[in-house]
Amino acid sequence: MTRKMTGAKMIVQALIDQGVDTVFGYPGGAVLPIYDEVFQQNSIKHVLVRHEQGAVHAAEGYARSTGKPGVVLVTSGPGATNAVTGLTDALLDSIPLVVLTGQVPTFMIGSDAFQEADTVGITRPCTKHNWLVKDTDKLGGVLHEAFHVATSGRPGPVLVDIPKDVQFATGTYTPKKPSTSHYQPPVKGDMEEITELVSAIENAKRPVFYTGGGVINSGPAASQLLRELVDGTGFPITSTLMGLGAYPASGDKWLGMLGMHGLYEANMAMHDCDLMINIGARFDDRITGVVDMFSPKSKKAHIDIDPSSINKIIRVDIPIVGDVGHVLEDLLKVWKSRGRKTNSEAVGKWWKQIEQWRAVDCLKFEQSGKIIKPQYALSRLEALTKKYNRYITTEVGQHQMWAAQYLGFEDPNRWMTSGGLGTMGYGFPASIGVQMAHPDALVINVAGEASWLMNMQEMGTAMQYGLPVKQFILNNERLGMVRQWQELLHGERYSQSWSESLPDFVKLAEAFGAKGIICSDPDDLDDAIMEMLEYDGPVIFDCLVEKHENCFPMIPSGKAHNDMMLAGVDTQGVIDAKGSVLV
């Protein structure tokens, strides 16, 4: 069945056909025909953000917490350029997004028209793919293909740039149908390689699972298979920042996060293992540290849907290209059919070694005196919110790392953070996107005061849509992570790392009609958190914390995994000249 309609109507129709229920956007001249169609329908909710960057991060939060693509609609020129940070963020973290931008009419492209920007040119390196549609007849097909590309293989953001005359013109709508495009990344892994991994699992003496965001990308079924594999083999498991929740934090095989600010036991296990099984992680530099010293004695397997992730940074012995869910299913089948074997005696010894590392208790801290330690604030938040149907987003900095260390995630899709790009200003709009998708859940953004200010305008959005997002700000009046690096690397010369002239966050909340809570006394903290949880509406929680706390453990730049700094050590001179050029 072919149908004639305007381009603008096609856009709304395509979104409906793709099952989209929420769009985050901001209008402008070049998208007015689309907004006119949005006005005349009730199938799709449109969330009016206060800045286009907010729209993209909100869509990321929506996507990561639902597994569905996030959708954004913005205007040409400044609307599109404001979306660039969010697109780059989504590209680095493999978040599926479909971003629609308006463009000046086709006959004015290239003339420096009002609000013209070369959007496909600007966003080519920060999207998985993008399109400029110059023909209304092609619009429907491109939009469906956009959803296909965003969600297939390694997910990522795509952008469709639509000139205004294409929106006005009438054309034939191509309905949604199974994709016939040549872009069909394979999901099944090579059985020979999978079988080789099974043999390695059967023989390993000191194995470790190193899992990442790819498990989350693969969907909840992949997390279930991972749990079955971990519990079946009894091997220890660690995860990157992006993979938290795929395996439950309460599971006894769980070592905690690994990497630069990962747990001692996780990093030591990675360094000393004889079999490393990477499942959907990409050997990021926050994980490997100095590549030459990374886990020198291990055989390495890597399961990843993107061939370019394999051997990019670390040479692996057993490469498996495929989707985590599909590969784990085959892997479990083969392992079971061969009798579910492991070298349990050796693995038992390995666990004894791990227990000794665990006994170091690298996250211990002491809450004494009248100043709230950030670690204490997060431990209390964890204790008081654990039983809730809870989603956590974060900003970027020390608070983000402490959140990863002190909060426990039992399920996938519950933890939204900007890992690859490390975008300050991500967490607040992301919390809005999450709350839109899960209206009845408790959504908390763990923030630093500096990051939070970067997209604070979104208070208006939270209020307008009655989204009870809780902004839990660990306020150290410092760009804490920057201050920490200056302490370690730059002779305690704290150049520009103060948060001066901060607003009164309680008054700020009230100015928007929200609730503000301030807390500075550890003895009041529990009550204050309960007050936040009980309030039905957005809350800004200004938690005044210790100003000079450092985030440990830390693998200093230029050091190996078994060379970690723990709390209470001398911080001077630990990073040499070679390490200090690294970020």
Partner 1 sequence: MSALKIKKGSNSHSAYNLRPNFSDVIERHTLAVLVENEPGVLARVIGLFSGRGYNIDSLTVAEVDHTGHLSRITIVTSGTPQVIEQIKAQLGRIVPVHEVHDLTVEGPSVERELAMFKVNGTGDKRVEALRLADIFRANVVDSTLETFVFEITGAPDKIDAFADLMRPLGLTDVARTGVAALSRGN
Ligand X SMILES: Cc1cc2nc3c(=O)[nH]c(=O)nc-3n(C[C@H](O)[C@H](O)[C@H](O)COP(=O)(O)OP(=O)(O)OC[C@H]3O[C@@H](n4cnc5c(N)ncnc54)[C@H](O)[C@@H]3O)c2cc1C
Note if 164 is an active site residue: yes
Q: Which stretch binds ligand TPP (CB under 6 A): 50-58, 357-365, 376-384, 471-479?
A: 471-479
What are the residues binding ligand X (CB under 6 A)? 93-94, 154, 212-214, 217-218, 240-243, 257-262, 280-282, 284, 286-287, 304-306, 309, 323-324, 396, 400-401, 419-420, 422, 481
Q: Which of partner 1, ligand X, ligand TPP, none does residue 312 bind to, with CB < 5 to 8 Å depending on kind?
A: partner 1
- Three-state DSSP class for 255? strand
We find the least distance from the C-beta atom of residue 200 to partner 1, in angstroms, to be 15
Residue 395 makes contact with ligand TPP by CB under 6 A: yes
Q: Which of ligand TPP, partner 1, ligand X, none does residue 218 bind to, with CB < 5 to 8 Å depending on kind?
A: ligand X
Residue 82 makes contact with ligand TPP by CB under 6 A: no
Note if 470 is an active site residue: no
User: Considering only residues 479, 517, 525, 564, which one is a binding residue for ligand TPP as defined by CB under 6 A?
Assistant: 479
CB nearer ligand X, residue 27 or residue 420: 420
Note if 492 is an active site residue: no
Query: In 3D, which of 102, 162, 64 has the Cα closest to residue 427?
Result: 64
Residue 468 corresponds to which tokens in the numbers above? Answer: 């009870």
Q: Which stretch binds partner 1 (CB under 8 A): 178-186, 375-383, 393-401, 455-463?
A: 178-186
Query: In 3D, which of 302, 308, 295, 247 has the Cα closest to residue 280?
Result: 302
Check 9, 10, 13, 52 and give the catalytic one.
Answer: 52
Among residue numbers 318 through 357, which ones bind partner 1 (CB under 8 A)? 319, 321
Residue 9 makes contact with ligand TPP by CB under 6 A: no
Q: Which of partner 1, ligand X, ligand TPP, none does residue 315 bind to, with CB < 5 to 8 Å depending on kind?
A: partner 1
Note if 472 is an active site residue: no
Q: Any alpha helices (H) in 23-108, and if so which ranges?
A: 32-39, 52-66, 78-82, 84-92
Q: For residues 7 and 164, what is the distance between their CA atoms, to the nearest angstrom?
A: 9
Residue number closest to ligand X, CB atom: 213
- Three-state DSSP class for 162? strand
Q: For residues 238 and 211, what is the distance between their CA atoms, to the nearest angstrom?
A: 6
User: Considering only residues 73, 90, 149, 565, which one is a binding residue for partner 1 as defined by CB under 8 A?
Assistant: 149
Q: For residues 403 and 247, what is the distance between their CA atoms, to the nearest angstrom?
A: 17
Note if 333 is an active site residue: no
Q: Which of partner 1, ligand X, ligand TPP, none does residue 186 bind to, with CB < 5 to 8 Å depending on kind?
A: partner 1
Among residue numbers 445 through 464, which ones bind ligand TPP (CB under 6 A)? 448-451
DSSP state letters, 379-445: HHHHHHHTTS-EEEEE-SSHHHHHHHHHS---STT-EE---SS--TT-HHHHHHHHHHH-TTSEEEE
Query: In 3D, which of 16, 162, 59, 112 has the Cα closest to residue 436?
Result: 59
Identity of the amino acid at 189: G
Q: Cα dihedral angle (143, 145, 146, 147), rounded to 10 degrees?
A: 100
Main-chain dihedrals φ then ψ at residue 185, nearest 5 degrees: -60, 135
Q: Which residues bind ligand TPP (CB under 6 A)?
A: 395-399, 422-425, 448-451, 474, 476, 478-482
